[in-house]
Amino acid sequence: MCKVIAVANQKGGVGKTVTSVNLGIGLAREGKKVMIIDSDPQGSLTISLGCKEPDSLDYTLANALINIINDEPTDINKGLIHHVEGIDLMPGNIELSSLEITLTGVISRETILRQYVEKARNMYDYIILDCAPSLGMMTINALACADSVIIPCQAAYLPVKGLQQLIKTIGRVKRQLNPKLNIEGILITMVDNRTNYAKDISNQIYEVYSSSIKVFPIGIPLSVRAAEISATGNSIYVYDPKGKAAFAYKELIKEVMKNDEKSWSDSKAV
Ligand code: ADP
Ligand code: MG
């Protein structure tokens, strides 16, 4: 059974890409088959996983989606980059931004990515979708094909305000396009435990949301080593295995896998 997790927040710089990398690779380290999809035209995830010039790639997510729009056969393996840490990457690049414009005139424009992901489901245990910092058509496509969403949220005032709009959008996608969509949880990121401010923000998020949405009990600490990994092409588990960010990401993975074991046993019971 494959689970598709979108990592989304329309705010940039909140830790979506770093979370997608370390969530995906962390799950692979637990023996899971994992694909990570870069659905952001900036290609930051693709760069973080060691492909320094995503715009020069011959075949990326944009090409795969164009095939689907044109009703041409799609080879799921085409364009996949196998990363040494055991995950498959479907890269993304700037071509996704022109694709996003094309999508507006396309039949089933919200579910083009779903058609791609559905074909990949039987090859993987987890598919992680790193989203762009917008609520544009690619993010809607990601939400329309995901089973759940992880919302990274920086421990700061303004990003917290943007959460309402994102949660509303997730609700609309759930009602109109994807009834199985759930919020996996809010992940507080870049927590500077030395400051009271970060604690206040974290407490505020718990107070406002934890009655309706899971807030992961361990946030991702602010860590210079975590900030550096995108330049190394590796995960935090290789770059700083004993650091606090690696520990926090491992806790996130335990939580995600715990949720899945529970929902899989619930579904067997039905
Ligand atoms: P997004 O994908 O939401 O735009 P990124 O994952 O690219 O966010 O992170 C934004 C910036 O913050 C990047 O420069 C990244 O290296 C840095 N960063 C991410 N997580 C942490 C962390 N835990 N501690 C310090 N810096 C971080
Ligand atoms: Mg990003």
> Tens-digit pLDDT profile for the chain (270 aa)?
899 999 999 999 999 999 999 999 999 999 999 999 999 999 999 999 999 999 999 999 999 999 999 999 989 999 999 999 999 999 999 999 999 999 988 999 999 999 999 999 999 999 999 999 999 999 999 999 999 999 999 987 766 678 989 999 999 999 999 999 999 999 999 999 888 887 888 888 888 898 899 999 999 999 999 999 989 999 999 999 999 999 999 999 999 999 887 766 665 554
Task: Give φ, ψ of 186 to 5 degrees.
Answer: -95, 130
The closest ligand to the CA of 246 turns out to be 1
What would you report as the CA-atom Rg of the chain, rounded to the nearest whole angstrom? 18
The Cα diameter of the chain in Å comes to 55
Residue 223 within any structural domain of the chain: yes
Task: Kindly state if the Cβ of 244 falls inside 6 Å of ligand 1.
Answer: no
Domain that holds residue 108: 3-262
From 18, 139, 223, 234, give the residue whose CB has the most ligand 1 atoms within 8 Å, as the site to mutate. 18
Residue owning the nearest CA to atom 14 of ligand 1: 227
Which is the closest atom of ligand 1 to the Cα of 220? 23
d(CA 236, CA 266) in angstroms, rounded, equals: 33
**Shortest-distance ligand to the CA of residue 10:** 1
269 belongs to a structural domain: no
- Number of domains making up the chain: 1
In degrees rounded to 5, what are phi and psi of residue 98? -75, -35
- DSSP class of residue 219 equals P
Which letter, b or e, does each residue of 111-129 get, where b requires 16 or more Cβ atoms within 10 Å of its Cβ? bbbbbbbeebbeebbbbbb
> Is 267 part of a structural domain of the chain?
no
Calculate ∠ Cα 146-94-225, nearest 5°: 75
Task: Specify if 84 maps to a domain.
Answer: yes
pLDDT of residue 265: 65
Q: What is the pLDDT of residue 270?
A: 42
Atom number of ligand 1 nearest to Cα 44: 7
Residue 197 sits in a domain of what CATH number? 3.40.50.300
- Residue 119 and residue 229: Cα distance in Å, rounded? 31
Residue with tokens 């989304």: 8
Q: Which amino acid is at 212?
A: S
Q: Is 167 helix (H, G, I), strand (E, B) or coil?
A: helix
- The answer to whether position 13 is within a domain reads yes
pLDDT in the model for residue 198: 79
Whose alpha carbon is nearest atom 5 of ligand 1?
15
Q: Whose CA is nearest to atom 15 of ligand 1?
A: 227
Q: Note the pTM of the prediction, 2 decimals.
A: 0.96
Q: Is residue 268 part of a domain?
A: no
Q: How many CB atoms lie within 10 A of CB 203?
A: 10
CA of 14 to the centre of ligand 1 (A): 6
- Residue written as token pair 């046993």: 265
Would the CB of 162 count as within 6 Å of ligand 1?
no
**Considering the domain boundaries, does residue 270 fall inside one?**
no
